[in-house]
């Protein structure tokens, strides 16, 4: 024992396990870590992160990654992506491990929480604003002259695809837009489809999907080469003509505040689910390449304009 005093117990290090799809969730994680730093947590002193990135939407691989991280003596599990959220809920059933999610569009409908105000159980987090797909499609219709038919690729294995397709269909019907649906299991499959789209398709609409998100730049290049505008309900690639998306960095920072409250002893069951902010991004360079002029009254409403 040092002279003149007694040993002080070392401060508890907050251990957080992180499981999500890469690179789609990298910006969210950067926001989360920035938020934790701003809240006074210093990595290596007050906080420890254990990462496990997932490269494909496969339930077995997701389960393996969650188990791998869960074994690292955690205080909190942070999941990103609805399929990861749902697998974590199932695998951690019966435990008291707090779980935070960010980016789920339908946390109540998907069974992650009991309600937004009173989550119950051991999960809470940040939800994407509902109706984003519909609003994004409305913006696309406002920009593309005489929009009559859109092509919508989707992964039938994606947990949220049924709900999102239903909302897109409702909005398209209201706007008088026809839809050409197509199941895809890879970006390469989507690119091949774009190269062979019928002439009546005059726009492409992209909704969230791990299958497409990771390499959406390839899809966009194929669309630009055919001078077909692309709209998206998330920001997956800067070359997309228009996207209405959650601010992923800000979403991560919001999640950090929830993590701090859990570290202070508040149960996830008592922390209401929060909603992320959305941002409208318009790419004028892409608009020029495909021959579309964006009206000034729409540009003034954009959060970000890419030249």
How high is the pLDDT of residue 25? Answer: 85
Six token digits for residue 249: 């960095």
State how far the alpha carbon of 117 is from the alpha carbons of 113, 138, 141, 145, 167, in Å. 9, 29, 34, 41, 24
Q: How far is residue 68's CA from residue 258's CA, in Å, rounded to a whole number?
A: 24
DSSP 246-266: E-HHHHHHHHHHHHHHHHTT-
Residue 24 burial class via C-beta count within 10 angstroms: exposed 0-12, middle 13-18, buried 19 and up:
buried
Beta bridge partners of residue 279, listed in sequence order: 245
Q: What is the pLDDT of residue 6?
A: 43
Dist CA 228 CA 287 (whole Å): 10
Phi then psi for residue 20, to 5 deg, are -165, 175
Give the C-alpha separation, 231 to 228, whole Å.
10
Q: Are 78 and 28 in contact (CB under 8 A)?
A: no
Taking the domains of the chain in order of start, what are their residue ranges?
Answer: 14-128+247-277, 132-245+280-306
Single out the residue of 286, 284, 278, 288 nearest to residue 299, CA to CA. 284
Identify the CA nearest to 63 among candidates 93, 94, 82, 88: 88
- The predicted pLDDT at position 3 comes to 39
d(CA 139, CA 160): 22
> Residue 159's pLDDT is what?
63
Could you tell me if 204 and 191 are in contact, meaning their C-beta atoms sit under 8 angstroms apart?
Answer: no
Contact 56/80 with Cβ under 8 angstroms? no
Q: Which residues of 219-256 are buried (b: 16+ CB within 10 A; e: fewer)?
A: bbebbbeeebbbbbbbbbbebbbbbbbbbbbbbbbbbb
Q: Do domains 14-128+247-277 and 132-245+280-306 have the same CATH topology?
A: yes
pLDDT means over runs of 10, the chain (307 residues): 41 92 85 97 96 88 96 96 93 94 88 95 90 87 94 81 82 96 89 93 87 79 95 83 90 96 97 92 96 94 93
For the segment(s) 14-128+247-277, the CATH number from 3.30.420.40, 3.40.50.2300, 3.30.40.10, 3.40.190.10 is 3.40.50.2300
Scanning 117-229, the segments in alpha helix (DSSP H) are 132-143, 161-175, 187-195, 210-213, 216-225
pTM, two decimals, is: 0.81
Which top CATH class is 132-245+280-306? alpha beta
Residue pair 58/25 in contact (Cβ under 8 Å)? The answer is no
């Amino acid at each position: 024992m040092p002279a003149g005093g007694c040993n002080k117990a070392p401060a508890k290090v907050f251990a957080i396990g992180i499981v999500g799809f890469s690179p789609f969730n990298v910006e969210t994680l950067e926001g989360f870590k920035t938020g934790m730093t701003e809240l006074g947590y210093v990595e290596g002193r007050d906080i420890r992160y254990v990462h496990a990135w997932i490269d494909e939407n496969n339930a077995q691989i997701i389960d393996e990654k969650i188990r791998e991280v869960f074994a690292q003596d955690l205080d909190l599990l942070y999941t990103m992506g609805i399929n990861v959220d749902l697998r974590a809920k199932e695998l951690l059933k019966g435990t008291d491990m707090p779980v935070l999610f960010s980016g789920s569009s339908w946390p109540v409908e998907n069974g992650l929480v009991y309600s937004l105000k009173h989550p119950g159980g051991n999960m809470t987090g940040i939800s994407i604003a509902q109706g984003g797909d519909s609003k994004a499609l409305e913006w696309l219709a406002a920009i593309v002259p005489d929009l009559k038919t859109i092509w919508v690729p989707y992964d039938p294995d994606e947990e949220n695809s049924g709900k999102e397709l239903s909302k897109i269909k409702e909005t398209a019907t209201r706007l008088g837009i026809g839809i050409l649906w197509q199941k895809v299991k890879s970006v390469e499959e989507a690119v091949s489809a774009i190269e062979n789209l019928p002439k009546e398709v005059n726009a492409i609409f992209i909704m969230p999907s791990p299958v497409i998100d990771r390499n959406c730049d390839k899809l966009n290049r194929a669309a630009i080469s055919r001078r077909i505008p692309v709209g998206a309900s998330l920001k997956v690639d800067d070359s997309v003509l228009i996207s209405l998306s959650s601010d992923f960095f800000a979403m991560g920072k919001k999640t950090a505040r929830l993590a701090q409250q859990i570290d202070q002893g508040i149960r996830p069951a008592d922390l209401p689910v929060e909603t992320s902010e959305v941002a409208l991004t318009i790419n004028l360079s892409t608009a020029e390449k495909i021959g579309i002029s964006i009206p000034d009254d729409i540009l003034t409403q954009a959060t970000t304009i890419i030249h």
